[in-house]
Amino acid sequence: MQAHGGTPNVNSSGEKDQASELAQLANARYAPEPPPVLDGVTVVTPPKLSEDLTVITTLEEARAAVNAAAASAQRLISIYTPDLEPDLYDQTPFLETIKHFVLARSFSKVRVLLVEPQRVMRDSNRFVAMGRRLSSCIDIRYVGVPTKQRASAFLIADDRAIVYRMRPDTWDGIAHLNNPPVARRYLSEFDAVWNASAPDMGLRIARRG
């Protein structure tokens, strides 16, 4: 994968604040506990992993994170991605989760913002095909407005769960299934770009052929 540009418009201090907050989440992934003492001897035990927060370093972990976040959604899934990364979003477990999500609830919605839609048009993508079949529930748009360049990729479930990677050319990132403040901050950025972007009809028409 290659790094991609095109991101929601935020100021420099906002970016630093968000990066700092995510870094703090990474550093806080282990819940500190006092070491137990047995017969006067301190017993060293492995750190305990926080229930909701995980640090992602591999493709397998990234897949598990987006699957878990999507499965937790009740009404809205928002995805910001360079090209609907097939290694994540064109996988059967994820597609089945999305299918169940949109068919089980009449009010559910999936929104996708693409930075480089031409990369999706060149390759067959089952997510796009599902979006055509379920167009009332799955909306795909491309970032077609001038924005400040910042490479990133993320998935937000409702306004609570988030899977965030600072660079889409690596799998390194953070997933938190219950962090409304961070999720809402990125959802606000997503909404701003979403409202300024047009539906990517060219992508859907191209895939029909």
Where is average pLDDT lowest: 27-36, 59-68, 143-152? 27-36
CB neighbour class for 156 (10 Å; exposed up to 12, middle 13-18, buried from 19): buried
pLDDT of residue 121: 61
Give the CATH H-level superfamily of domain 12-23+50-208.
Endonuclease Chain A (3.30.870.10)
Domain boundaries of the chain, sorted by first residue: 12-23+50-208
pLDDT of residue 167: 87
pLDDT of residue 96: 96
pLDDT of residue 123: 58
- As a whole-number percent, the residues of the chain with pLDDT over 70 amount to 65
d(CA 146, CA 174): 27
pLDDT in tens, 93-146: 999 999 999 999 888 999 999 887 777 765 578 998 898 889 889 999 988 765
Measured CA to CA in angstroms, residue 189 lies from 9, 58, 77, 79, 206 at distances of 7, 26, 14, 12, 29
pLDDT of residue 184: 95
